Amino acid sequence: MYKIAGTGSYLPSKTLTNDDLSKFVETSDSWIQERTGIKQRHFVENELTSDLACKAAENALKDAGITAEQLDLIIVATTTPDYTFPSTAVIVQDKLGAVNAASFDVQAVCSGFVYGLSVAEGYFATKKAKHALVIGAESLSKLLDFEDRTTCVLFGDGAGAVVLSEKDDETSGLISTKISSMGQFVDLLKTTGGPGLTQSAGFITMQGQEVFRHAVSNLKKVCLDMLAENNLEKSDIDLLIPHQANKRIIDSTAKSLSLKPEQVVVTVDQHANTSAASIPLALDWANKQGKIKKGDTLLLEAFGAGFTFGGALIKW
């Protein structure tokens, strides 16, 4: 199986605080912070999702100490690709010079990074990869309707990446992944368009209270189920790295796992909800800040449109 050999991230230079948004959206810093914990977000200006992905990937490769030519696999999790086709992953492959890597996208919105980790698991289990790159990258600002204050304040742009490498010992690496979906709730969180429907991407639309309710219940369930399936207790978790969507959802999950505040990585205040990019952004931040220690058990979890949700247990 695999271990995480390196992490990397990238945020666009343009930053919009809540006060900045309030100049052209009917909202306020207090309104946003009280409901979400978000203080600011980053928006692209002259960059594409593939650009964000490449910069995060380059940082992850440097951290892992391997070259792009050593990669056997590139998976990009995104809901905001450069093109309808080809995939953003093949563009990243070309920009990085990863000539030996099979490359493709996965689309599970906010759960995309966890889905990517799960897909990669199969390649390592069947010995088809020694090194893989899993990236979450989004330009969600392209999908925002700034007339809808209930959604436009929630999202931001960015990218995070991990290099996965074949394990060389049994003391660290992936423990397991778990992914699920509930397509009957597709209308609660979606875009207003798509290539087949309107020939355009559309804008994000969401029934916020219902999404919140489902997120809280399903994240609790997937976390507890993963622990039970791997014969682990709540006390075995050293660090929770959740999808960074809403501080209240993060707090609810942490409470259900009996975790202390210092055991929960929270970065949503700095970059808002970056969908598939949020977990690898938070993971890289925790890694670079020295929050993760050798031997720590990490629990990653995510919930997104579809609904999709899932998690990963990793021994550092």
User: CB of 40 within 8 A of CB of 16?
Assistant: yes
Q: In what helix (H) or strand (E) does residue 248 lie, and over which residues does it extend?
A: helix 247-256
Residue from 18, 218, 273, 287 carrying the catalytic annotation = 273
**List 42, 131, 214, 243, catalytic entry:** 243
Taking Cα atoms as reference points, which of 272, 281, 304 lies closest to residue 106?
A: 304
Cβ proximity of 149 and 119 under 8 Å: no
Calculate the alpha carbon distances from 72 to 41, 75, 127, 217 in Å: 33, 10, 11, 37
Which of 231-239's residues contact partners 24+ apart within 8 Å by CB, and which partners? 232/297, 232/313, 234/258, 234/259, 236/297, 237/263, 237/297, 237/298, 237/299, 238/263, 238/293, 238/296, 238/297, 238/298, 239/263, 239/264, 239/265, 239/286, 239/291, 239/292, 239/296, 239/297, 239/298, 239/299
Note whether 112 and 277 are within 8 A (CB).
no
Report the distance separating Cα 117 and Cα 113, nearest Å. Answer: 6
Structure tokens at 79: 């809901």
Rounded to whole angstroms, the Cα distance separating 82 from 104 reads 13
Is 152 tagged catalytic?
A: no
CA–CA dist 3, 11 (Å, integer):
25
278-288 helix and 112-125 helix, angle to the nearest 10 degrees: 80
Residue from 18, 42, 110, 223 carrying the catalytic annotation:
110
Please state, in angstroms and rounded to a whole number, the distance separating the CA atoms of residues 147 and 246.
21
**Does residue 42 have an active-site annotation?**
no
Active site residue 273: yes
Instruction: Determine the residue type at 88.
Output: T
Positions marked active-site: 110, 243, 273
